[in-house]
Amino acid sequence: LAETTQTQIWINARIATMDPTRAAPYGEFANHCLVVNGDVIDRIVPMAELESEGVAGIVHDVGGRWVTPGLIDCHTHLVFAGNRVAEWEQRLSGVSYAEIARLGGGIMNTVRATRSASEDELVASAKPRAQALIEEGVTCLEIKSGYGLTTADELKMLRAVRRLGQELPVEISSTLLAAHAVPPEFTGGADAYVDLILNEIIPKVAEQQLAEAVDVFCESIAFNVDQCDRVWPAAKRHGLAVKGHVEQLSNQHGAVRLAAHRAWSADHLEYLDDAGVSALAASGTTAVLLPGAYYFLRQAKKPPIEKLRAAGVPMAVATDYNPGTSPFASIRLAMNLACVLFGLTPEESLAGATRHAATALGRADRLGTLAAGKQADFLIWDVDHPAEIVCSLGVNRLVSRVFRGKTDDVAA
Ligand code: DI6
Ligand code: FE
């Protein structure tokens, strides 16, 4: 499209850059304009400067509204088949998530449905989920495999993920999560399944360039820390980044071991201890908070937010969208829950779904803040203050969504 190769200028904007080098809250620039060349931000300049320079390009008047970076959802499992509503009803009557998993439900329930689905069916059912996030302002989205648990089915899921990125206006970061649950073929033989992940699944995924990172579920109902610590080095040997679901339901000391691999992120963290906080701080690993799962599982123990904050660990916020523990296609709900349930400030929450989420996906150089040289992914909001984006749900305040310099109007 012509639009994406020309200079475009968004004028009369209040820009929440989320750039930490600016002292103002939200990294604000008041009464500025955003100059974009093709799909890259060329510069952010005061309106007065632009008026004296003159304007050469397509002009869009923001009308004094707020502009933020595109939202980034850095942890989802949104490709899956079937649903888990019956299990939710069981859980409401008192059966625990872990108990349902032990009885062969939970993740395995979704594995059975996902194995029976074709790649086309997975793409078709995932599309409206991704679309819901896009309509909320998401411009970059991480999606994990992990409901196939055979070489063929994990590859099928990752091909479906790749197709979503090709067919929708969103940047997708694809993650292999073969170590999500021990499949029934390997019951009691988790180590043998880890062998398959190391010897076959990771090499094939790397060779076909179907994922950029490898995740694990480090938990008593999934893989122990030694098993996870076989997966992470193997991923790195194949040039893939590593991350982990750690200390979600119990403290397995996964965060410490994960941090030693300079992981992109450590996710969940409800049971993280002091050693884990220090290890994340020392390694520069991003903590990914997933309050949707905490809320939906009615967990009692919160991640150690004050300690993470004091240690300077960057905190991202994501949906964890999945059918079992967080069936919510709303990054704004996750941001809201992060404030209300975990005690983040609205500014921390917005940074969590922009700047820190970009870091958690290895994209800090290109995404997550608004500054010269960054990709032109940004949102125009009809709000009086950016905290309103986090505070209030249900009414769509998103006026315009710009992805790689191209506007799609999402408002009705
Ligand atoms: N932790 C979670 O919250 C999800 N996966 C994980 O490792 C749950 C996935 C599911 O229940 O389907
Ligand atoms: Fe998850």
**pLDDT tens, position by position, for the chain (412 residues)?**
445 578 999 999 999 999 999 999 999 999 999 999 999 999 999 999 988 887 789 999 999 999 999 999 999 999 999 999 999 999 999 999 999 998 899 999 999 999 999 999 999 999 999 999 999 999 999 999 999 999 999 999 999 999 999 999 999 999 999 999 999 999 889 999 999 999 999 999 999 999 999 999 999 999 999 999 999 999 999 999 999 999 999 999 999 999 999 999 999 999 999 999 999 999 999 999 999 999 999 999 999 999 999 999 999 999 999 999 999 999 999 999 999 999 999 999 999 999 999 999 999 999 999 999 999 999 999 999 999 999 999 998 999 999 999 998 765 4
Q: For residue 177, give the nearest of 97, 77, 290, 269 by alpha carbon.
A: 77
Q: What is the pTM of this model?
A: 0.97
Per-residue pLDDT at 52: 85
Per-residue pLDDT at 412: 41
Instruction: Specify the DSSP class assigned to residue 201.
Output: I
Per-residue pLDDT at 240: 98
Phi-psi region of 371 (alpha: psi -120 to 50; beta: other; left: phi over 0): beta
Q: Residue 4: is it exposed, middle or buried by C-beta count within 10 angstroms (0-12/13-18/19+)?
A: middle
Ligand 1 neighbourhood includes 113 CB (under 6 angstroms): no
Which protein residue has the closest C-alpha to ligand 1 atom 4? 325
Q: Residue 54: is it exposed, middle or buried by C-beta count within 10 angstroms (0-12/13-18/19+)?
A: exposed
Ligand 1 neighbourhood includes 8 CB (under 6 angstroms): no
How far is it, in rounded angstroms, from Cα 282 to Cα 354?
22
Could you tell me the CA-to-CA distances from 41 to 4, 36, 69, 299, 405 in Å, in that order?
12, 4, 11, 42, 8
**Beta strands 171-179 and 138-144: pairing type?**
parallel
Say how many Å lie between the CA of residue 6 and the centre of ligand 2. Answer: 40
| Smallest-distance ligand from the CA of 218 | 1
Could you tell me the CA-to-CA distances from 271 to 164, 279, 289, 294 in Å, in that order?
34, 14, 12, 12
Ligand 1 neighbourhood includes 9 CB (under 6 angstroms): no
| Smallest-distance ligand from the CA of 97 | 1
Position of tokens 């033989």?
189
* Contact between 367 and 328 (Cβ < 8 Å): no
Say how many Å lie between the CA of residue 138 and the centre of ligand 2. Answer: 18
Per-residue pLDDT at 4: 54
How far is it, in rounded angstroms, from Cα 57 to Cα 8?
5
Per-residue pLDDT at 50: 86
Question: What number of residues does the chain have?
Answer: 412
Say how many Å lie between the CA of residue 246 and the centre of ligand 1. Answer: 11
How far is it, in rounded angstroms, from Cα 210 to Cα 88?
32
Per-residue pLDDT at 6: 87
